[in-house]
Amino acid sequence: MGTPCHFALFELQPSFRLDLDQLATRYRELARGVHPDRFADASEREQRLALEQSASLNEAYQTLKSPPKRARYLLAMGGRELPMEVTVHDPDFLMQQMQWREELEDLQDEADLAGVAVFKRRLKVAQDELNESFAACWDDAAQREQAERLMRRMQFLDKLTYEVRQLEERLDD
């Protein structure tokens, strides 16, 4: 990761449980200090520095704000190699994935907007539960492998959320 740890940047202890409001407030304070708008009439060197610092601040904020990205970052901090695409042995979840996808396809075929809204709510509940499980699991250093499995599940649900949004867009035509 090179630069200072994302958590340290926000003066936070590395942890999955985060107060998102507090994170957002800290982000705004920090952005005020380093945003290039602050250096519009400064030297070229300072402007470049502001650009770089703002970019890393934004990257850190985006990472910490999103539960799957935060989980992944925590695992990577612990030194785990985490290729983006892998086949993880998680047969239970594989079944569930297929179910989710099938449902989504049905909703698309039936152009069922109300059904999509229900699906979204269920997805949100599943995400919240998963976040909770990861948080609990992360507190126990012996469960790193399970934590990684949960992180992959979070990534999948995140992708699914994006697909639901695309479906909504198509149905809106």
Tell me how far apart the alpha carbons of residues 13 and 18 are, in angstroms, rounded to a whole number: 9
Q: Residue 33 CB, nearest distance to other proteins (Å)?
A: 10
Q: Residue 35 CB, nearest distance to other proteins (Å)?
A: 6
Query: What is the DSSP code (8-state) at residue 5?
Result: P
113 φ, ψ (degrees, to nearest 5): -65, -40
Q: Residue 90 CB, nearest distance to other proteins (Å)?
A: 26
Q: Tokens standing for 12?
A: 């936070």
Question: Considering beta carbons, is residue 73 or 138 the nearer one to other proteins?
Answer: 73
Q: Residue 25 CB, nearest distance to other proteins (Å)?
A: 8
Tell me how far apart the alpha carbons of residues 103 and 98 are, in angstroms, rounded to a whole number: 9
Q: Residue 143 CB, nearest distance to other proteins (Å)?
A: 30
Torsion angle defined by CA atoms of residues 133, 149, 145 and 137, in that order, rounded to the nearest 10 degrees:
-10
CB 113 within 8 A of CB 171: yes
Question: Considering beta carbons, is residue 136 or 171 the nearer one to other proteins?
Answer: 171
Question: Considering beta carbons, is residue 112 or 168 the nearer one to other proteins?
Answer: 168
Question: Considering beta carbons, is residue 139 or 165 the nearer one to other proteins?
Answer: 165
Q: Nearest-CA neighbor of 138 among 71, 82, 80?
A: 71
Query: Could you list the residues that contact other proteins (CB under 8 A)?
Result: 24, 28, 31-32, 35-37, 40-41, 51-52, 54-56, 58-59, 61-62, 165, 168-169, 172-173
Element housing 161 (H / E): helix 144-171
- Please count the CA atoms within 13 angstroms of the CA of 41 that sit on its side-chain side: 0
Question: Considering beta carbons, is residue 96 or 161 the nearer one to other proteins?
Answer: 161
